[in-house]
Amino acid sequence: MFLWNADGTFESVEVEPVRRPEGFPPMQAVAAGPDEAMNLAILKLGGYVLEAIEVEPFAVEIEEVTFGFVPEDIGDEEVSINVQPGDFIAYYEPWDGEDYDI
């Protein structure tokens, strides 16, 4: 779980180990199984509001795995923000979500 302060500055990462299904190569993203870890993380938040916010990029290394919203230079002075681990979610200009592929 990635946590930011109300002003969008990075606060912390909370990582909870979950059982990984057998038969998948290391570092390949797969569903971790029941949503128990996610449900417990949301309960820990207490009262929260879902709304659009601006947050700063960050990268944190935990047990040799990078977690974060990691900037990556994609050329011509353009940058994408890749959600790690996994590298399968990326954000890019215009940052408002209007032109993203689905």
At 54-92, the pLDDT tens digits run: 889 999 999 888 999 999 998 888 898 999 987 678 888
- How many folded domains does the chain comprise? 1
For residue 72, the surrounding DSSP H or E stretch is strand 65-75
Distances (CA, A) of 43 to 24, 38, 62, 87: 30, 9, 23, 27
- If we measure between CA atoms, which residue out of 44, 51, 41, 43 comes closest to residue 16? 41
Higher pLDDT, 49 or 13: 13
What pLDDT, on a 0 to 100 scale, did the predictor assign at position 69? 94
What pLDDT, on a 0 to 100 scale, did the predictor assign at position 71? 92
Please indicate, yes or no, if residue 6 is contained in any of the structural domains.
yes
Domain holding 57, by residue range, is: 2-92
Predicted confidence (pLDDT) per residue in 29-62, tens digit: 776 666 677 788 888 888 888 788 888 999 999 9
Please indicate, yes or no, if residue 24 is contained in any of the structural domains.
yes
Is the per-residue pLDDT at 28 higher than 90? no
